[in-house]
Structure 1
């Protein structure tokens, strides 16, 4: 019997979410019970605009298509916040999934979320919360992280993330990179999510 397949799909402007996605994948691999494919959301900004934003080149990761979604048994979506919700690139992609919605093609498939913000109070939880309607309308099963990783209780330093999912705090200028505690939460999220997907598939 083939193992269930999890897609990790991210949008990353400055690399923070891409870094977190690698630890998410590490956790999925650690569980050892799912197959994994990693994709990025399509970019909607021109190279000229991205250059003016001083955005680095996109990573060498394939771009997801709407039709490809039907091949997965579960999804972990990662993206930075834009005013407390998903960025336009992610919204635009989901706006194009109406055909899948009409067929119920994603119904019953589990999904989790990971995210980044510029500050501790920049929408770490609302980014996930405001994305839930996309999952609900498709009939997808939201799988939160909960407090499975003890670093979510750590108040000794800045640690992004919440029971809603893994999070990192990028800093106002993007100079802060995901730290070991945040990446540890990402590994936990990946591992626990894989176990849920495997149970549902069984």
Structure 2
């Protein structure tokens, strides 16, 4: 049986959420999964971006590294992992715009039964990581994804992260994720790959029966 295919669709401005995305990808690939890393694009004007120092330059650099996520990516995947920085305790508008674009696939039922998971970052210790991750469970349920939380299924979870998904705090300095944060993210990639592979095998078996 072919290995699972995983889409990691994320938004990152300063590179913190990007670092978690890459650690998740490493864990998934270590488990044999094929991974697509995609960065959601800005939805505000160039004028608005210019008011935040460095935003325009950072966006250009990240967009040069990653393609934008598409409907085809979501249909291709056996699992979709969404990543976002916290914006006022909730998902960034950039990632939400991508999720909203999946309405056609939702209507056709093409996302039903795929694995789904989330990760995120925030600037302050109580800046909303958990509320943001939990808020993403709602659209995943509507899309028909089978939600894969982390629980405390790995020793790394007792050092960092949340049971809802990998996370990081940048302390308003774009501080990169810690080694413990990245270990949790790596575990998330392995866990989602395991679940996606099991779901794919079950679907193949059901189709043949």
Same fold (TM over 0.5): yes
Hey, what's the Cα distance between the residues in 1 that align with 2:130 and 2:168? 11
Deviations 1:148-197 (A, max 9, x none): 3334323xxxx4x20000000011x2332111010011111111111111
Hey, what's the Cα distance between the residues in 2 that align with 1:40 and 1:118? 19
Q: TM-score scaled by structure 2?
A: 0.87
Return the match for 1:63 from 68, 77, 85: 68
Hey, what's the Cα distance between the residues in 1 that align with 2:103 and 2:178? 37
Corresponding residue for 2:81? 76
Deviations 1:34-63 (A, max 9, x none): 211111112212333323212223421111
Higher mean displacement: 190-199 or 61-70: 61-70
Runs of 4+ in 1 over 6 A off after TM superposition: none
Corresponding residue for 1:103? 108
The answer to whether the aligner puts 1:37 opposite 2:36 as a matched pair is yes
Corresponding residue for 2:194? 195
Q: Give the 3 Å change call, closer, same or farther, for CA 175–68 of structure 1 in structure 2.
A: closer
Deviation of 1:14 (Å): 1.1
RMSD: 1.5
Which secondary structure does the structure 1 equivalent of 2:162 belong to?
coil
Hey, what's the Cα distance between the residues in 1 that align with 2:157 and 2:111? 30
Q: TM-score scaled by structure 1?
A: 0.90
Aligned length: 195
Which secondary structure does the structure 2 equivalent of 1:125 belong to?
helix
Deviation of 1:64 (Å): 0.9
The gaps in structure 2 that reach 5 residues or longer are 202-209
